[in-house]
Structure 1
Amino acid sequence: MFSSSNLHPKLVQAIESLNWLEPTEVQQQSLPLALEGKDLLIHAETGSGKTGAYLIPVLHKIMSEAKPKSGTRALVMVPTRELAQQAKKDCDSLTQFSGVKSVIIRGGQEFQYQASLLRRNPEIVIATPGRMTEHLNSKTADLSDVEFVILDECDRMLDMGFRDEVLAITNHCTSKHQSLLLSATLRHKGVTAIASSLLTDPQLVKIKTEQLQSNITQQVILTDDDKHKEKLVLWLLSNETFEKAIVFTKTRASAQQLNNVLRYHKLRTASLHGEIAQDERNKVMAKFREGAVNVIVATDLAARGLDVDGVDLVINFDMAQSGDEHVHRVGRTGRAGQTGLAISLINSFDYSLMSSIERYLKLHFERRVIDSLKAKYSGPKNLKANGKPAGTKRKKSAKESTKKKIPKHASRKRKDIGKRRAPVNQPTDGGFTPIKKKKTTLPDTE
Structure 2
Amino acid sequence: MIMRDNTVFAELMLHERLLKAIDKLGFKRPTPVQAAALPEALAGHDLIVGAETGSGKTLAFVAPMLQHFLDISAPNTGTRGLILTPTRELAEQVCQAVKDIAAFTRINAMTVCGGTGFKEQAAEIRKNPEILVATPGRLAEHLERNTLDLDDLEFLVLDEADRMLDMGFRDEVMAIVQLCRPQRQSMVFSATLTHRGVREILPQVLNEPKELLLNTPQNAQASIRQQIILADDDKHKERLVEWLLAHETYDKAIIFTNTRDKAQWLAKSLQRQNRRSGVLHGEMTQDERKHVMELMRSGKINVLVATDVAARGLDIEGLDLVINFDMARKGDEHVHRVGRTGRQEREGLAICLIAHNEWNLMASIERYLRIEFERRTIKGVEGQYKGPKKVKASGKAAGSKKKKTDVKRAKSTAGKPKSKQRVRDRKDQGKRRSDSARPAPSLGDGSMPLMKKRSDR
TM-score bin, normalised by smaller chain: 0.7 to 0.9
Q: Does 1:143 align with 2:150?
A: yes
Q: Does 1:103 align with 2:127?
A: no
The aligned residue for residue 72 of structure 1 is 79
The aligned residue for residue 441 of structure 1 is none
Q: Does 1:10 align with 2:17?
A: yes
Q: 1:172 to 1:387 in 2, by over 3 A?
A: closer
Q: Distance in 2 between matches of 1:349 and 1:186?
A: 30
Within the candidate set 123, 127, 130, 1:116 is matched to 123
Q: Distance in 2 between matches of 1:394 and 1:298?
A: 40
Q: Distance in 2 between matches of 1:319 and 1:326?
A: 8
Within the candidate set 305, 309, 313, 1:305 is matched to 313
The aligned residue for residue 241 of structure 2 is 233
- TM-score with structure 1 setting the length: 0.85
Is the Cα–Cα contact under 8 Å of residues 250 and 300 in structure 1 kept in the other structure? yes
Is the Cα–Cα contact under 8 Å of residues 84 and 305 in structure 1 kept in the other structure? no
The aligned residue for residue 290 of structure 1 is 298
Shift of 1:212: 3.2
1:140-179 equivalence runs, <5 A: 140-179=147-186
Shift of 1:382: 2.4
Q: Distance in 1 between matches of 2:121 and 2:351?
A: 41
Q: Secondary structure at the match of 1:76?
A: strand
Shift of 1:386: 7.5
The aligned residue for residue 341 of structure 2 is 333
Q: Distance in 2 between matches of 1:8 and 1:112?
A: 36
Shift of 1:187: 2.6
Which residue identity does 1:58 align to in structure 2? Answer: M
Where does structure 1 differ by over 4 angstroms across 4 or more consecutive aligned residues?
384-397
Shift of 1:305: 3.2
Q: Does 1:247 align with 2:255?
A: yes
The aligned residue for residue 70 of structure 2 is 63
Q: Distance in 1 between matches of 2:204 and 2:123?
A: 32
* Number of corresponding residues: 398
Q: Distance in 1 between matches of 2:403 and 2:210?
A: 52
Structure 2: which 5+ runs fail to align?
1-7, 410-457
Q: Does 1:29 align with 2:36?
A: yes
1:365-380 equivalence runs, <5 A: 365-380=373-388
Within the candidate set 371, 375, 381, 2:389 is matched to 381
Q: Does 1:132 align with 2:153?
A: no
Q: 1:7 to 1:371 in 2, by over 3 A?
A: same
Q: Distance in 2 between matches of 1:95 and 1:74?
A: 13
Q: Does 1:348 align with 2:352?
A: no
Q: Distance in 1 between matches of 2:199 and 2:88?
A: 25
Within the candidate set 280, 283, 287, 1:272 is matched to 280
Shift of 1:395: 12
The aligned residue for residue 186 of structure 1 is 193
Shift of 1:221: 0.5
Q: Distance in 2 between matches of 1:245 and 1:144?
A: 44
Q: Secondary structure at the match of 1:350?
A: helix
Is the Cα–Cα contact under 8 Å of residues 48 and 212 in structure 1 kept in the other structure? no
Q: Which moved more, 1:126-135 or 1:247-256?
A: 126-135
Q: Secondary structure at the match of 2:322?
A: strand
Which residue identity does 1:346 align to in structure 2? Answer: I
Which residue identity does 1:333 align to in structure 2? Answer: T
Which residue identity does 2:164 align to in structure 1? Answer: M
**RMSD over equivalenced CA pairs, Å:** 2.0
Q: Secondary structure at the match of 1:373?
A: coil
Higher radius of gyration, 1 or 2: 1
Q: Which moved more, 1:221-230 or 1:371-380?
A: 371-380
Which residue identity does 2:9 align to in structure 1? Answer: F
Shift of 1:396: 9.2
Q: Does 1:223 align with 2:231?
A: yes
- Listed one character per residue, the Cα deviations across residues 365-416 of structure 1 (whole Å, up to 9, x for unaligned) are 111100111122111222357855457997999xx9xxxxxxxxxxxxxxxx
- Listed one character per residue, the Cα deviations across residues 259-288 of structure 1 (whole Å, up to 9, x for unaligned) are 111111111111101111111111111111
Q: Distance in 2 between matches of 1:316 and 1:120?
A: 43
Q: Does 1:322 align with 2:335?
A: no
Is the Cα–Cα contact under 8 Å of residues 144 and 175 in structure 1 kept in the other structure? no
Q: Distance in 1 between matches of 2:375 and 2:114?
A: 42
Q: Distance in 1 between matches of 2:42 and 2:106?
A: 21
Q: Distance in 2 between matches of 1:200 and 1:24?
A: 26
Is the Cα–Cα contact under 8 Å of residues 226 and 350 in structure 2 kept in the other structure? yes
Q: Does 1:89 align with 2:79?
A: no
- TM-score with structure 2 setting the length: 0.83
- Listed one character per residue, the Cα deviations across residues 55-91 of structure 1 (whole Å, up to 9, x for unaligned) are 1211111122222122211110111110100101111
Q: Which moved more, 1:299-308 or 1:29-38?
A: 299-308
- Listed one character per residue, the Cα deviations across residues 241-274 of structure 1 (whole Å, up to 9, x for unaligned) are 1111000000001101111111111111111011
Which residue identity does 2:251 align to in structure 1? Answer: E
